[in-house]
Amino acid sequence: MADDDRELIAQTLHFVADRVWRVTDSGFFFELVKYLGESLGVAYVFCDMIKPNDSTVVQTLALYAHGEIIENISYNLRGTPCENVIGRSTCCYVDRVQQLFPDDQLLVELKAESYAGIPLWSANGTPLGLIAIMDDKPLRKPDLIKTLLQIVAVRGGAELERSQFLAQLHVSERRFRDFAKSSSDWFWEMDKNLRFSYFSDRFMQVTGVPEESLLGSTREENGNPGASHEVWEKQLADLRDHKPFKDFIHPRTKPDGRVVWLSISGIPVYDENIFEGFRGTGTDITERVESERTIERLLHAIQHVPVGIALFDEDDRLIFFNTQYKTVMGVMGDILEIGETFENMLHTMVTRQPVKDAIGREADYIKERLAKHRMPGQPVEIHRVDRELLAYESRSSDGYTFNIITDITEHKKAENDLIIAKNEAEKANRAKSEFLASMSHELRTPLNAILGFSEIIKEQYLGPPGTGKYREYAGDIYKSGTHLLELVNDLLDISTIEAGFTSLEKEIVSIREIVNDCKHTIDEKAFAKNIQLTVVYPDDFTSIFADKRAVKQILLNLLSNAVKFTPKGGKITIHSDSADGKTRIRVTDNGRGIPTEELSSVTDPFTRSVMGPHIAEKGWGLGLAISKSLVELHDGEMIIESEFGKGTSVTVAFPSSLSGTD
């Protein structure tokens, strides 16, 4: 390195350490770019700062051009050599810089031929800006230039960081002063001994107490101003423990006797971990406290009323509603807002919780309801899909509308229940009348046969006993008596079941045995109608733990019904299987079937689908009711599937806990 180069480096170090050290803020950068421009003999020297809110744009802090300090500019970094500097470290382009960065129009305007730059870093390694030189001719000593830039960059980065910090501090101070002037709060300070050392002017304006009367005293010495014991003790503890606190709320009596409510907040102040005191704010919350107390009294008075209460102002906007009002409004209650108009609320209600009277005519309903609301008169019933409401409305002389809504859902339900009960009673009465009429006929028919044939035999109308006809009549008497016994047994069975007196005597019962016995019993009736009766057995015969007589009665009832309602030449199938933890017996026929509308009531006592004109069979209609009850006593279930005109399938299923293997 030449002696003159060493001399220039030494001069630069001296410049940075001595003369420039005494220059602050923007003056530093002006002196710096001027010094570099004159020392290196280059056309341009500039110091840039990255804009805080946009890292793609820089603003010059000082700009040296051909021996003069000129006006600062800002420009976009994209496509410039400065972008490379910010992105890494020192960059030096000895010549042809325009060709290297063809998108940089500033290079063209300045007729730049060469460029060298270095970034300015913060203490934590964040790029803050850069220092760069440009010339209209190639650089002669690039190594010397890079060395000088490295020397000034350290000082430049520190100065730029300091100036930015001072600028931010200045903004913060100005912001604080503006807030203090415009705020209704006041500011206070305590020293390290917890003695008041400062109050802003607003304190006396609010409390009427001169700050001089409190300065130098502690809060404890001044005494509890009226806070609750717990709040007061917590405040003293926070001060003693140097803890931040918020909203120490208490009353203070002014010299004129008026009471104001204050909210005080504060934070401890430390200097190098040494406690220096407290600093905080105070707020006059008198209006807020008085408003809250008024609202509390009002709410306490109306929150216990078991009706919804709302108030609308002269513009028909909601200004108050109680909890019960929100409750009765249902889903809409979740979106109730103070200031909402009644009309908007009505639109929302019709949309989100349809009103029965409005479905399909929403616009007309809203118009009608608004008319009643604006000219209150008679109570209005609101038949919503989810509940029934009754609205009472009245209007004050100043245009306010008072709205009381009562939930009458239970009342309406009680009315409907009464109607249903009345209908059920009438239905039961009709069923009773029909049953009595049927019973008189059902009992009279076999009795007439018994009496008639008995009289023929007794009077020997056909000659002395032994005549063949007598044997036939005796058979008819037996059949009529058996039928009469079946009718009486059904009545006794259903009565016993409904009274809860039926008890089961459980044992291991063979399904195969039950099915065979029932088939044998019903074979004669099936044969008489030329009905094909088929049994489908599983591979492994199943047994269940049940009441044998009850299971047999269940299956006989199902088979009797199947034979009764299957036309001549029909088919009946008995199927038994075990699956899904259940043992099932299924009786399927291809008879007339049961109409869909009768399926739900076919197991009700004294109900017979056969009462329809298409069937002529007779009976109480108790078979399915008895069977269903007996199945349920075994914790089982009965499933009836039927298609009118095609046939019926009745399945009884017993739980697996009752099952075993034959």
* Matching fold, domains 305-406 and 413-485: no
Angle between helices 623-633 and 468-499 (to 10 degrees): 50
Structural contact between residues 662 and 541, judged by C-beta atoms closer than 8 angstroms: yes
Beta-strand relationship, 571-579 and 532-536: parallel
Is residue 28 predicted with pLDDT exceeding 70? yes
358-362, 398-402, 427-431: which has the minimum mean pLDDT? Answer: 427-431
How far apart are alpha carbons 55 and 402 in whole angstroms? 60
**CATH number of 503-661, picked from 3.30.565.10, 1.20.210.10, 3.90.226.10, 3.40.50.1980:** 3.30.565.10
**480 or 42, greater pLDDT:** 42
Name the token pair of 576. Answer: 């038994």
Structural contact between residues 69 and 35, judged by C-beta atoms closer than 8 angstroms: no
How many residues does the structure list for the chain? 662
Check residue 615 and give its pLDDT: 46
Task: Output the average pLDDT for the chain.
Answer: 83
How far apart are alpha carbons 264 and 257 in whole angstroms? 21
DSSP-assigned states of every residue in 498-548: HHT-----EEEEEHHHHHHHHHHHHHHHHHHTT-EEEEE--SS-EEEEEEH
Helix (H) or strand (E) holding 63, with range, is strand 54-65
**For the segment 624-658, what is each residue's pLDDT rounded down to a tens digit?**
888 888 889 889 999 999 999 899 999 999 886 55
Check residue 176 and give its pLDDT: 65
Secondary structure, 3-state, 594-645? CCHHHHCCCCCCCCCHHHCCCCCCCCCCCHHHHHHHHHHHCCCEEEEEEECC
Q: What distances in angstroms separate CA 199 from CA 101, 181, 250, 267, one per listed residue?
A: 61, 14, 18, 15
Mean pLDDT computed over 294-314: 85
Mean pLDDT computed over 382-399: 87
DSSP-assigned states of every residue in 387-426: -EEEEEEEE-TTS-EEEEEEE-HHHHHHHHHHHHHHHHHH
Helix (H) or strand (E) holding 184, with range, is none
Q: What distances in angstroms separate CA 312 from CA 5, 323, 336, 345, 612, one per listed residue?
A: 88, 16, 13, 12, 61
**For the segment 238-292, what is each residue's pLDDT rounded down to a tens digit?**
999 999 999 999 999 999 989 999 999 999 999 989 999 999 999 999 999 999 8
Name the token pair of 35. Answer: 């010094």
Q: Determine the Cα angle at 188 with ends 187 and 194, to 5°.
A: 160
Helix (H) or strand (E) holding 577, with range, is strand 571-579
Structural contact between residues 631 and 652, judged by C-beta atoms closer than 8 angstroms: yes
**For the segment 143-200, what is each residue's pLDDT rounded down to a tens digit?**
888 888 888 888 888 888 888 888 887 877 776 666 655 555 889 999 999 999 999 8
SS3 state at 348: helix
How far apart are alpha carbons 308 and 289 in whole angstroms? 26
Count of CB atoms within 10 A of residue 474's CB? 14
Mean pLDDT computed over 48-69: 91
Is residue 612 predicted with pLDDT exceeding 50? no
**For the segment 575-586, what is each residue's pLDDT rounded down to a tens digit?**
988 888 888 999
**CATH number of 183-289, picked from 3.30.450.20, 2.80.10.50, 1.25.40.10, 1.20.1250.20:** 3.30.450.20
Name the token pair of 387. Answer: 């509940």
- CA max distance for the chain: 168
How far apart are alpha carbons 649 and 627 in whole angstroms? 14
Check residue 530 and give its pLDDT: 94
**483 or 127, greater pLDDT:** 127
Domain boundaries, the chain: 3-170, 183-289, 305-406, 413-485, 503-661
Fold of 3-170: Beta-Lactamase (3.30.450)
For the four alpha carbons of 90, 94, 98 and 100, in that order, the dihedral sign comes to: negative
Confidence of residue 26 (pLDDT cuts 50, 70, 90): low
Confidence of residue 613 (pLDDT cuts 50, 70, 90): very low
Phi first, then psi: what are they for 487, rounded to 5°?
-60, -45
Mean pLDDT computed over 533-539: 83
Mean pLDDT computed over 83-92: 85
Residues ≥6 apart with Cβ < 8 Å to 298:
none
Domain 305-406 has CATH 3.30.450.20: yes
Is residue 230 predicted with pLDDT exceeding 70? yes
Q: Which CATH architecture has domain 413-485?
A: Orthogonal Bundle (1.10)
